[in-house]
């Protein structure tokens, strides 16, 4: 059913050019052009993903493989069919804009898709975000996304939670989106589908950025929002493969996408030059405020802090145009530790890598959300729990197999606080973090001496080129060593408490987590 929808629309425009889509969007009043040529749209009430409105149709073909719960919410066939009928009826009198293309740069594993849009601006988003098909290439979609932001559901009366809904139907191969104009729902729905389909083929799907060096060596970067994933993977000495979603198969990695969906809040033309310069004609700017001269004010979060820029990857100059790379030499987990207790860089073995991957730790700090006065530990399994449809242990097992087979080195880098927690310590300087990333990628840490952290049980280097040695052991920078240990044990307990929810893991993985033992309080006093 994925490619045969039987929607009798007023007019259907298929695979229009960027210029044509921009023209339609402007004529239809969907947005305006900024002074740099980008199409600026406002998404209304929904300025981000709506996780409580994302559902998966419960079907016997997938039931055993889905990690059902608060993240992957089950819904019945009847609810889907009812809403599908209402949406298709709603679209019959509309102009529709259709994109045909692919998710996945690797031909063997790519997924042909079709995106049917009520809005020209969302078809433009899809054109820039996914991989475009060649003009005369035969294309049969395996999955279809239908996006109808103007259709509002009736909440409980329709068997869902609100006017908005994102429903994935694997048997019918349809994603049905209504009530929300936030384009990220289109992108993340397809990411979620790939995260379900690829493990069944032995491919490891990853919520990560990836780049490639002059010797064709590949590094991948995992990390939640605010950890520096996009910034650190944008390296002038290395080509960007992709900034968000990848698959790792037997011969290497491949980008799922043909574009980038970058956060634009506080975008700095000096620190984030590549992203800043990529925002031009063809880019879709979501919820960015313009000044009186139509110049984007990236510091203005009036509409939302989650302002976004969607542009094709070729708007960036230093890229790997194929979207592919070899087997990763280095895996880097990024965390912004606001407790100030994790080492700036540490090395993980296979079991500790699987432990930290399943934990997916970073932290929220005061001021980021209402009511937060102290740093709060945040855990998102696989560094992308909302998009992982299977049990996290499935993805962790794939990670462990890849590490073991290819002897890939794994590092945990803390881009957060040192010398004390948030409010007392300071955030580690980016040049030091970049030096650590470079040292890891270039193999400069292979012959240094390592010391095991007695609480977190990760290995800390005793030296790293370009970084003062006293920074490498976090306790050195705390004035009060007892306070360090107290905070370290507090975070260790949070790790262990969070990990209790994972049942299907080996003792080797579980034991790779922190040792929250009060007898270790003497550690820092030595």
Cα–Cα distance for residue pair 159/124, rounded to 1 Å: 31
Beta carbons within 10 angstroms of residue 188's beta carbon: 23
The tokens for 259 are: 């574009």
16 and 145 part of one domain: yes
168 and 76 part of one domain: yes
| Domain-located, residue 505 | yes
| Domain-located, residue 218 | no
The SS3 call for residue 39 is: strand
| Domain-located, residue 43 | no
List the chain residues with pLDDT less than 70: 1-6, 365-375, 517-526
For the chain, the first-to-last Cα distance in angstroms comes to 67
Domain ends where: 269, 284, 315? 315
Task: Give the pLDDT confidence of 473-499 residue by residue, as tens digits.
Answer: 999 999 999 999 999 999 999 999 999
310, 126 in Cβ contact below 8 A? no
Cα–Cα distance for residue pair 462/263, rounded to 1 Å: 36
311 and 333 part of one domain: no
CATH number where 289 lies: 2.170.8.10
Residue with tokens 């990670």: 399
Mention every residue, 6+ apart, whose C-beta is less than 8 A from residue 447: none
Cα–Cα distance for residue pair 96/455, rounded to 1 Å: 57
333 and 295 part of one domain: no
Cα–Cα distance for residue pair 362/380, rounded to 1 Å: 8
| Domain-located, residue 347 | yes
Mention every residue, 6+ apart, whose C-beta is less than 8 A from residue 240: 209, 210, 211, 233, 234, 313, 316, 318, 319, 320
122 and 184 part of one domain: yes
Classify burial at 488, counting beta carbons within 10 Å of its beta carbon; exposed 0-12, middle 13-18, buried 19 or more.
buried
Q: 56 — alpha (psi -120 to 50), left (phi > 0) or beta?
A: beta
According to the model, what pLDDT value does residue 273 have? Answer: 87
Beta carbons within 10 angstroms of residue 371's beta carbon: 6
The SS3 call for residue 205 is: strand
According to the model, what pLDDT value does residue 525 have? Answer: 38
| Domain-located, residue 288 | yes
| Domain-located, residue 278 | yes
364 and 491 part of one domain: yes
Domains held by the chain: number: 3
| Domain-located, residue 134 | yes
According to the model, what pLDDT value does residue 372 have? Answer: 53
Cα–Cα distance for residue pair 417/410, rounded to 1 Å: 21
CATH number where 389 lies: 3.90.228.20
Domain ends where: 185, 201, 217? 201
Mention every residue, 6+ apart, whose C-beta is less than 8 A from residue 485: 455, 475, 520, 521, 523, 524
Phi and psi at residue 348, to the nearest 5°: -115, 140
Which of these, 138, 142, 162, lies nearest to 46 by C-alpha position? 162
| Domain-located, residue 209 | no
Residue with tokens 């990390």: 223
274 and 389 part of one domain: no
HSE of 147, CA atoms in CB hemisphere, 13 A: 27
Task: Give the pLDDT confidence of 55-110 residue by residue, as tens digits.
Answer: 999 999 999 999 999 999 999 999 999 999 999 999 998 999 999 999 999 999 99
Pairing of strands 239-242, 11-14: unpaired
Cα–Cα distance for residue pair 144/141, rounded to 1 Å: 7
340 and 192 part of one domain: no
Cα–Cα distance for residue pair 98/120, rounded to 1 Å: 9
CATH number where 107 lies: 3.40.449.10
Classify burial at 383, counting beta carbons within 10 Å of its beta carbon; exposed 0-12, middle 13-18, buried 19 or more.
buried
The tokens for 371 are: 């009511």
- The parent domain of residue 20 ranges over 11-30+49-201
419 and 304 part of one domain: no
70 and 188 part of one domain: yes
Cα–Cα distance for residue pair 128/93, rounded to 1 Å: 27
Positions marked active-site? 49, 188, 207, 225, 229-230, 244, 308
24 and 123 part of one domain: yes
105 and 159 part of one domain: yes
């Amino acid at each position: 059913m994925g490619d045969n929808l039987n929607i009798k629309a007023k007019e259907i425009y298929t695979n229009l050019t960027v210029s044509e889509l921009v023209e339609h969007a402007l004529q239809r009043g969907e947005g305006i052009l900024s002074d740099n040529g980008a199409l600026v749209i406002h998404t209304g009430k929904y300025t981000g993903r709506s996780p409580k409105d994302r559902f998966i149709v419960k079907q016997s073909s997938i039931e055993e493989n889905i990690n059902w719960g608060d993240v992957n919410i089950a819904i019945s066939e009847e609810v889907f069919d009812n809403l599908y009928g209402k949406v298709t009826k709603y679209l019959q009198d509309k102009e529709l804009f259709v994109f045909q293309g692919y998710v996945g740069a690797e031909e063997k594993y790519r997924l042909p898709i079709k995106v049917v849009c009520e809005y020209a601006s969302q078809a433009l988003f899809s054109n820039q975000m996914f991989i475009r098909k060649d003009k005369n290439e035969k294309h049969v979609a395996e999955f279809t996304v239908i996006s109808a932001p103007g259709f509002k559901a009736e909440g409980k009366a329709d068997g869902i939670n609100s006017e908005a809904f994102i429903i994935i139907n694997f048997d019918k191969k349809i994603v049905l989106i209504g009530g929300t104009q936030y384009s990220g729902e289109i992108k993340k729905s397809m990411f979620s589908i790939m995260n379900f389909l690829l493990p069944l083929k032995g491919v490891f799907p990853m919520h990560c950025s990836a780049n490639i060096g002059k010797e064709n060596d590949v590094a991948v970067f995992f990390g939640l929002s605010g950890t520096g994933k996009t910034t650190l993977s944008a390296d002038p000495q290395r080509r960007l493969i992709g900034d968000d979603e990848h698959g790792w198969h037997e011969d290497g990695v491949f980008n799922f996408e043909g574009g980038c969906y970058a956060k634009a809040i506080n975008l700095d033309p000096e620190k984030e030059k590549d992203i800043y310069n990529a925002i031009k004609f063809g880019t879709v700017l979501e919820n960015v405020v313009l000044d009186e001269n139509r110049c984007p004010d990236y510091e203005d979060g009036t509409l939302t802090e989650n302002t976004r820029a969607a542009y094709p990857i070729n708007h960036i100059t230093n890229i790997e145009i194929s979207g592919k790379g070899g087997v990763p030499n280095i895996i880097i987990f990024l965390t912004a530790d606001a407790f100030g207790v994790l080492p700036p860089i540490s090395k993980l073995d296979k079991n500790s890598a699987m432990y930290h991957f399943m934990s997916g730790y970073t932290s929220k700090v005061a001021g980021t959300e209402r009511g937060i006065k102290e740093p709060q530990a945040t855990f998102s399994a696989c560094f992308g729990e909302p998009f992982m449809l299977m049990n996290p242990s499935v993805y962790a097992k794939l990670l462990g197999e890849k590490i073991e087979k290819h002897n890939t080195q794994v590092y945990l880098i803390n881009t957060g606080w040192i010398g004390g927690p948030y409010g007392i310590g300071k955030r580690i300087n980016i040049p030091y973090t970049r030096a650590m990333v470079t040292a890891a990628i270039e193999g400069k840490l292979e012959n240094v001496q390592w010391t095991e952290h007695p609480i977190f049980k990760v290995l800390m280097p005793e030296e790293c080129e370009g970084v003062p040695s006293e920074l490498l052991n976090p306790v050195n920078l705390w004035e009060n060593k007892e306070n360090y240990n107290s905070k370290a044990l507090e975070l260790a307990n949070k790790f262990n408490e969070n990990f209790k929810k994972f049942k299907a893991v080996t003792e080797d993985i579980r034991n790779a987590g922190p040792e929250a033992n009060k007898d270790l309080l003497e550690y820092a006093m030595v």
